[in-house]
Chains A and B, each alone.
Chain A
Amino acid sequence: MSDTTALLPDAAQHPTDTFGATAADRFDDAVKDRFADAVKDRFADAGRVRRRTLGILRRPLLVLSIVWLLLVLVAATWPQLLAPGDPLAGVPADKLQPPSAAHWFGTDQIGRDLYTRVVHGTSLTISAAAIAVAVGIVVGSLLGLVSGFVGGAVDAVIMRVADVLLSIPGLLLSLAIITALGFGTVNVAIAVGIASVASVARIMRSEVIKVRASPFVEAATASGNTRTRILFRHVLPNSAGPVVALGVLEFGGAILAVSALSFLGYGAPPPAPEWGALVSGGRDYLRTSWWLTTLPGLVIALTVLAANRLAHGLDTNGAARR
């Protein structure tokens, strides 16, 4: 090495040139570099953590979304905290009152307080959406898991069925299932969930196939684990990630689908204050009492927006960490 540098006429003029540096110099530099890197990493790490916690505060929309969703959760769990009244009892004398300090969202045609009804309807709509997502994720994951892990004819059959389900628009599939199951909030939720099974199954299957081929699964097989154990201990936990992310993402869509079906009248029967049914109930008074349709619909839109925003936020945070 030093022979080569001696042959280079300019080496002496470039003290920092690696060609001109001695081995000891280079070692020194490497140590310094590594140390500097470590220090930089340390600070960068601290910075990243701080940025991640503070970063949320720097995203006002995300904060607003979280606050709104917390409010929705409170309304779903303890509606009495936010609206102490009775959602089904009306005061006929106060019918069709516009929004005021006494009735924040106004009153409907038999004098029921609309705000109270929206708050008390939250649990119906939110739990229906949660059931829908759970049905879609659980059934879809199981199908995808079996399909990807077993392979062969089972895989072919499951995936062909998934293809067919995907060729039927989601809402129509839900409607067909409701036709067979009958009406009601739970049936609507199941129908919405089943409509998303096929896409979940596809994602799960592709993840499972990826994980199944990885060395640690091979190692688990070599060390004599049973197939069931490998499936549930090794493959499932390692392929569930994207599906869970999808579940969060689908929550907003599930709220929309559930409330659309309840708007069409397939949800809980009339006095129940389901969000979609509230909008539909105000239809006949659209010309005279705008608040009956506008305000419940606004609540649906804001909730879906907040859920989507949060899902997106989680997604980008997750991507940043990866």
Chain B
Amino acid sequence: MSDSPARRTSPADVARYLASRLGQALIVLWAAYTVSFLVLWALPSDPVALLAGGDATDITPDQLDALRAQYGLDKPLWAQYLTQLGAILTGHFGSSIATGRPVADVIGEAIGPTAQLAGLAFVLALVVGGGLAITATFVRTRWVSSLLLGLPPLGVAIPSFWFGLMLIQWFSFQLPWFPAMGDKGFASLVLPAIALALPTSAMIAQLLSKSLRITLGEPYIDTAWAKGASRARVHVRHALRNAALPALTMTGLVVGGLLSGTVVTETVFSRPGIGRVTAVAVQQQDIPVVQGIVLFAAAVFVLANLAVDLVYPALDPRIVLTSPARRRRRRADAGGPPSELVAQGGADAEAPPATPADPTTPADPADPGNAPTRTEVHA
């Protein structure tokens, strides 16, 4: 940090940063909309023929044309695109082909139950995955540690739909502890949340234990030891706080994974929610609903990343929030290369290069710049 006192994040900085990030988020959403439009409407499929019941034998071509006109499908692709985009900008997300209800209503109703499920699963995944990583790196008994570290690969390999069914079999049929399906009270939330949390907690455990192991080898840990800190204190206060940072950049991915995981989990446990709506919409090839859900998921992903970026400076004081324009200017001043990737789905918080005196990891893993690349980390 060259000019540190002046470079603390001020409220004005946060506001400017937020504005520029929200602008970027809108661009990402527009792009996600365009991609989903191309995938859903430009691929060789005939929504109207599907709507008319698959093999449209009892419908005359004239009726099909009338239906196409009704949905605007007789116009050229670009005209359809612009019409739809205009409608979305004014808050009209179209209506379901199968039921005729507005897509916004269909999704809006489903958010509640899914938010409960995904929220509980998120907490579970964090506690179980984080706890496993901390314990596995903390215990000195070798077999315990390798046993614990052997669990996450297992969690990644188990099909979540099968795990959900096994939970039902054991904990609602063999042992009548929880209801097997439905959406009545907290008890009905437990098994689905466990099933949904499994792959996510395994991912968190893998990421965090790796990051912890690397962090525990850093020289500043030795310093902490030398100053007489207890093992637990070194582990949690010194190592964990730094090790959690790279894992935090995966939040967007974790939330996205939980959201798409509900498609399977809500089907297995017959719960209402976004996942169930998605499964049914795909089954009926209800293109407007599927498109709405894709947009919704992209919005959730973008918001999750934004939230992480806003929390980041509080956890890592080396990071200063700046809007891209200011950063470019400063880079130009410094004579450095312009940012090669203006991050989109990811963050724009800037990590100044770590000085040699910096005790923690170099700037790169802490830089949430291009978060999507982080998909490679867990692969």
Collect the chain B residues with CB atoms within 8 Å of residue A179's CB.
40, 281-282, 285-287, 290
Give per-residue flags for B154-175: 1 if the beta carbon is below 8 A from chain A beta carbons, else 0: 1011111110011011000100
> Cα distance A175–B287 when bound, in Å?
11
Query: Measured between C-beta atoms, what is the minimum distance from B54 to chain A in Å?
Result: 10
Min Cβ gap A154→B in Å is: 15
The CA of A167 and the CA of B25, in the complex, are separated in Å by: 11
Q: How far is the CB of A249 from chain B (nearest CB, A)?
A: 6
Q: Are A260 and B159 in contact (CB under 8 A)?
A: yes
CA A85 – CA B117 in complex, angstroms? 43
Say yes or no: A168 contacts B278, CB within 8 Å.
no
The reply to whether the CB of A73 lies closer than 8 angstroms to some CB of chain B is no
| Bound complex: CA A246 to CA B379 (Å) | 8
* A202 beta carbon closer than 8 Å to chain B: yes
B40→A164 contact, CB < 8 A = no
Nearest B residue to A242, CB-CB: B376
Complex alpha-carbon distance, A265 and B285, angstroms: 13
Cβ of A203 within 8 Å of any chain B Cβ, yes or no, is yes
Q: Are A256 and B159 in contact (CB under 8 A)?
A: yes
Looking across the interface, which residue of chain A has its beta carbon closest to that of B290? Answer: A179
Query: Does B349 belong to the interface (CB within 8 Å)?
Result: no
Whether a CB of chain B sits under 8 angstroms from the CB of A309 is: yes
Minimal Cβ-Cβ distance residue in A for B256: A169
Query: Which of A166, A181, A256, A304 neighbours the largest number of chain B CB atoms within 10 Å of its CB?
Result: A166
Q: Is the interface of A mostly helix, strand, loop or mixed?
A: helix
Query: Is A265's CB under 8 angstroms from B283's CB?
Result: yes
Within 8 A of A (CB), among B260-290: 260-261, 263-264, 267-268, 278-279, 281-283, 285-287, 290
What A residues does B291 contact at CB under 8 A? 176
With a cutoff of 8 Å between Cβ atoms, the chain A residues found around residue B160 in the complex are: 260
Determine whether the beta carbon of A250 is less than 8 Å from that of B344: no
Asked whether B93 is an interface residue with its Cβ less than 8 Å from the other chain, the reply is no
- B158 contacts A301, C-beta separation under 8 Å: yes
- Residue B375 lies at the interface, judged by CB distance under 8 Å to chain A: yes
Given the complex, which residues of A lie within 8 Å of B376, measured CB to CB? 199, 202-203, 246
Give which listed residue, A166, A173, A290, A297, contacts B375 with CB less than 8 A. A166
A160 within 8 A of B: yes
Stretch among A40-48, A102-110, A214-222, A279-287 lining the B interface: A279-287
Residues of A within 8 A of B256 (CB): 167-169
Tell me which residues from 333 to 350 in chain B have a Cβ below 8 Å from any Cβ of chain A. Answer: 341, 343-345
B372 touching A279, Cβ below 8 Å: no
Residue-by-residue, is B350-379 near A (CB-CB < 8 Å gives 1, otherwise 0)? 000000000000000000000011011001
Chain B contacts of A166 at CB under 8 A?
345, 372, 375
B189 to chain A, nearest CB (A): 20
B interface residues (Cβ-Cβ under 8 A, vs A): 28, 31-32, 34-36, 39-41, 43, 45, 153-154, 156-162, 165-166, 168-169, 173, 252, 256-257, 259-261, 263-264, 267-268, 278-279, 281-283, 285-287, 290-291, 293-294, 297-298, 301-302, 341, 343-345, 372-373, 375-376, 379
Complex A-B: 12 CB contacts under 8 Å: A161-B35, A163-B372, A171-B264, A172-B260, A173-B294, A264-B161, A265-B283, A266-B282, A276-B161, A287-B169, A293-B162, A304-B158
Query: Apart from A162-B372, A202-B372, what are 13 other A-B pairs with CB-CB below 8 Å?
Result: A159-B341, A164-B34, A164-B344, A167-B301, A175-B290, A179-B282, A179-B287, A259-B159, A260-B159, A260-B160, A280-B161, A297-B159, A308-B156
